[in-house]
């Protein structure tokens, strides 16, 4: 611990000879992604369409963050199976486009961000690469609604084609608790359940989903399924959204709809978990409707619930009202405020999201901050944003 006066901060040094040394809530070795690789359309110089293919590869990485913005604004991590190819949409308008990626390891440690450039020229033929459809299963000639269940994310691994409801997936090629991605054909819809015989938690899915992340029903939890046809009257053309609602359009990002009539993205799972215990209240909103709602600033951690730190700095912060980060002066204060296991209540914050916060006064005595009181004052995200 070093520092004095009003600028004193908590400094934690890592001793790699002690495997039980905890830093930022982690225990054991720190693993960082290595041998990073990003290709756009197999290193093409230009493209005539916005849709491109990204080839991603990194050793010791389990998740990846992709963005057209160097600050990764509004981006969310997706699972990575290295090497992996995924579709991506460049920013509109001709010119040089740059795509940025950041890899994350199983221990929660981040790589440096890397980027690649490609020129978008929609007036010429640049040899565009069209993202392929998911690998189709053996042909089943039919125009009836069907769904395809896949064992792995990004439509990989074994698959099963279903055209009728199945109350028990145990006797299929893709069994219960094995579905990781899903594809829809001929206007099919599916109601998926985490219990047999259409019981337990359920969710209606209507569009291709490469990883089932952030759904009520997540990957490896589906045990029974009902298949139907998308009727015109059952596909919502409008939806009632009120301030305070959680919304998404079937993609992985969840938004908070604020009283300012903007959608505010949760930048990571940790931020969401500081406000909500699960995804049971998230409303599915058609993409055309969601796109009409202006994008607002990121949601920040709920005050008082967790402490956070950056990967690039040893300073541990308490989150105070209004997205203010207050450096904690000593381990004694951290323990007094958050208990003996305080280190397990520290989340690592991606540097890309640090701009959403302001730095406040250091906490140099226990009486200068009350986590429970700070959490109680933040009765809603709108309240914490000053509305």
- pLDDT tens, 159-195? 777 776 666 776 666 666 778 778 777 767 777 777 7
Ranges of CATH 3.30.2390 domains, the chain: 5-12+301-384
For the stretch 286-344, pLDDT in tens is 887 788 889 999 999 999 999 999 988 999 999 999 999 999 999 999 999 999 999 99
Q: Domain spanning 5-12+301-384: which CATH class is it, in words?
A: alpha beta
- Rg (the chain; Cα; Å): 23
Judge whether 52 and 40 are in contact, CB under 8 Å.
yes
Interatomic CA distance for residues 58 and 105, integer angstroms: 10
pLDDT for the residue numbered 151:
75
How many Å from the N-terminal Cα to the C-terminal Cα in the chain?
Answer: 38
The CATH code of the domain at 146-229 is 2.60.20.10
Architecture of the domain whose range is 34-120 = Sandwich (2.60)
Ranges of CATH 2.60.40.10 domains, the chain: 34-120
pLDDT for the residue numbered 143:
60
Interatomic CA distance for residues 300 and 322, integer angstroms: 9
Mean pLDDT computed over 7-30: 45
Judge whether 319 and 307 are in contact, CB under 8 Å.
yes
pLDDT for the residue numbered 134:
52
User: Residue 119 pairs with which residues in a beta bridge?
Assistant: 46, 96
Q: How is residue 386 written in tokens?
A: 């000053």
Q: How is residue 191 written in tokens?
A: 């109601």
For the stretch 257-296, pLDDT in tens is 999 989 999 998 899 999 999 888 898 888 877 888 899 9
State percent of the chain over pLDDT 90. Answer: 36
Ranges of CATH 2.60.20.10 domains, the chain: 146-229
Report the half-sphere exposure of 34 (CA within 13 A, side-chain side): 4
The answer, as to whether pTM is greater than 0.85, is no
Q: With a cut of 50, say whether residue 128 has pLDDT above it.
A: no
Mean pLDDT value across the chain: 80
pLDDT for the residue numbered 330:
95
pLDDT category at 381 given cuts 50, 70, 90 is very high
pLDDT for the residue numbered 63:
92
Please indicate whether residue 213 or residue 21 has the higher confidence score (pLDDT): 213
Interatomic CA distance for residues 286 and 237, integer angstroms: 7
pLDDT category at 18 given cuts 50, 70, 90 is very low
Which DSSP string corresponds to 306-374? -EEEETT----EEEETTTEEEEB--HHHHHHHH-TTGGGGEEEE-GGGGGG-EE---B-SGGG--HHHH
Interatomic CA distance for residues 272 and 256, integer angstroms: 10
């Amino acid at each position: 611990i070093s520092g004095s006066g009003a600028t004193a901060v908590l400094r934690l040094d890592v001793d790699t000879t002690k495997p039980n040394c905890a830093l930022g809530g982690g225990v054991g070795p720190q693993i960082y992604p290595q041998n990073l690789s990003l290709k756009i359309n197999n290193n093409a110089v230009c493209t005539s369409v916005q849709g491109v293919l990204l080839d991603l590869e990194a050793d010791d990485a389990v998740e990846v963050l992709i963005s057209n913005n160097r600050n990764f604004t509004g981006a969310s991590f997706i699972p990575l199976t290295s090497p992996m190819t995924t579709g991506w949409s460049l920013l509109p308008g001709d010119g040089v486009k740059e795509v940025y990626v950041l890899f994350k390891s199983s221990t929660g440690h981040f790589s440096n961000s890397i980027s690649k450039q490609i020129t978008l020229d929609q007036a010429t033929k640049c040899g565009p690469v069209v993202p392929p459809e998911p690998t189709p299963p053996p042909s089943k000639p039919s125009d009836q609604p069907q769904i395809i269940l896949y064992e792995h994310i990004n439509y990989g691994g074994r698959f099963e084609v279903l055209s009728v409801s199945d109350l028990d997936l145990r006797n299929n090629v893709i069994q219960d608790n094995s579905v990781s991605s899903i594809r829809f054909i001929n206007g099919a819809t599916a109601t998926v359940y985490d219990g047999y015989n259409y019981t337990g938690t359920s969710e209606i899915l209507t569009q291709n989903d490469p990883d089932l992340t952030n759904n009520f029903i997540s990957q490896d939890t589906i045990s029974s399924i009902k298949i139907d046809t998308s009727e015109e009257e059952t596909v919502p053309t409008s939806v009632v959204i009120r301030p305070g609602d959680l919304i998404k359009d079937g993609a992985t990002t969840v938004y908070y709809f604020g009283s300012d009539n903007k959608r505010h993205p949760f930048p990571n799972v940790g931020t969401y978990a500081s406000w909500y215990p699960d995804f049971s209240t998230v409303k599915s909103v058609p993409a055309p409707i969601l796109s009409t709602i202006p994008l607002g600033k990121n949601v920040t951690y709920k005050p008082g619930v967790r402490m956070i730190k950056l990967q690039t700095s040893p300073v541990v912060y308490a989150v105070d009202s209004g997205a203010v980060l207050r450096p904690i002066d000593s381990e004694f204060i951290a323990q007094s405020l958050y208990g003996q296991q305080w280190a397990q209540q520290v989340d690592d914050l991606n540097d890309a999201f640090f701009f959403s916060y302001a730095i406040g006064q250091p906490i140099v005595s226990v009486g200068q901050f009350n986590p429970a009181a700070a959490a109680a004052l933040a009765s809603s995200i709108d309240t914490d944003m000053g509305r």
